[in-house]
Structure 1
Amino acid sequence: MRILFSDEKFFDIDGVYNSQNDRVWVIDRADADKNGGIKQKRKFPQKVMVWLGVCSKGVTPLVILGEGTVDHAVYIEKVLPVALKYGNQVFGSDWVFQQDGAKPHSHHLTQQWCRDNFPSFIGKDRWPPNSPDLNPLYYSIWDELVNTINWNKVQ
């Protein structure tokens, strides 16, 4: 109950479409088209990466990281202070920070920052790889956010 889960996600101007999961089962192509079977995608859509933290008490402010690559320096500068401030505000000095095994998270300087600043955190060697079932952002929060965006108004 005192864990702050965190994750990043790319959003692009075309909305969210996952060709492996979003399928329309019909008899012919015309029925597929009528039921949303065609998805227009740009070759290089504009995109933005965002970070969010979630815990039993709520969600952190959203951090917009932009289009560029997020390395450990950007992650330490822009994300970790937001997580620390929020965690301390809602839990005081007794809570755990969780991040996945992405390269900016597992970088030795990021790990050191976490050891020096968070009351407790799940280090890169203790976080199991490929474990989306452990993070509510993977199976709940991102989906809710995606479904509340009016993709026709995204520019």
Structure 2
Amino acid sequence: MYEGAVKQKRKFPQKVMDWLGVCSKGVSPLIIFEDGWVDHARYIREVLPIALEYGDQVFGDQRTFQQDGTKPHIHHLTQQWRRDNFPVFIDKDHWPPKSPDFNPLDYSILDEFAPVIYCDKVKCKKTLIEEPKRSVKKIRPEVVFESCTSWTK
């Protein structure tokens, strides 16, 4: 059974986590966590600096950073790190959860990304890591732009 890009073949499958940012100019570098889940400390250490650097390169100070309400995102140390480093961000108390209008990556971009992941090619952890790297390159720029444009309305 397929649901998005999830296909379970055995009782205890290998797992990786991915992080991808999106903006009206494209997608950020894909971050793959090969060895497990991400807590707030790892998110601060491994994701936020890349998001900050990407935003600086693409927009300078003319951007607003937002994310969803997962635990690493709403942790008070994560919130403080963003206050200290991002020019503008939407904090956890001002973001409506699970809204397709406000989370373009979770809805429009995932709908674009998931179908181009070939789950049948994933036979081991190596291909589980390689397949998202290949597939992220197939996200069409016009879909990214349109989803971000609808967000700003």
Q: In which range does the TM-score fall when normalised by the shorter chain?
A: 0.7 to 0.9
Using the alignment, how far apart are the partners of 1:145 and 1:132 within structure 2?
16
- Structure 2 unaligned regions, length at least 5: 125-153
Larger Rg over CA atoms: 1
Match in the other structure for 2:37: 69
Deviation of 1:93 (Å):
1.0
- Structure 1 unaligned regions, length at least 5: 1-15, 20-38
* TM-score between the two structures when normalised by the length of structure 1: 0.71
Q: Provide, for residues 77-118 of structure 1, a one-character-per-residue CA deviation record: whole Å limited to 9, x for no partner.
A: 110011100111111112110111111011110000000000
Q: Provide, for residues 34-59 of structure 1, a one-character-per-residue CA deviation record: whole Å limited to 9, x for no partner.
A: xxxxx863222112110000011010
Which of the numbers 91, 109, 113 marks the counterpart of 2:77?
A: 109
**Once the two structures are aligned, what percentage of the paired residues are identical?**
69
1:18 equivalent to 2:13? Answer: no
Larger strand share, 1 or 2: 1
Q: What number of residue pairs does the alignment pair up?
A: 121
In the superposition, relative to structure 1, how do residues 100 and 40 fare at CA in structure 2: closer, same or farther (>3 Å)? closer
* TM-score between the two structures when normalised by the length of structure 2: 0.72
The alignment's C-alpha RMSD in Å is: 1.9
1:137 equivalent to 2:101? Answer: no
SS at match of 1:120: coil
Q: 4+ runs of 1 displaced by more than 4 Å?
A: none
Which of the numbers 3, 14, 17 marks the counterpart of 1:49?
A: 17
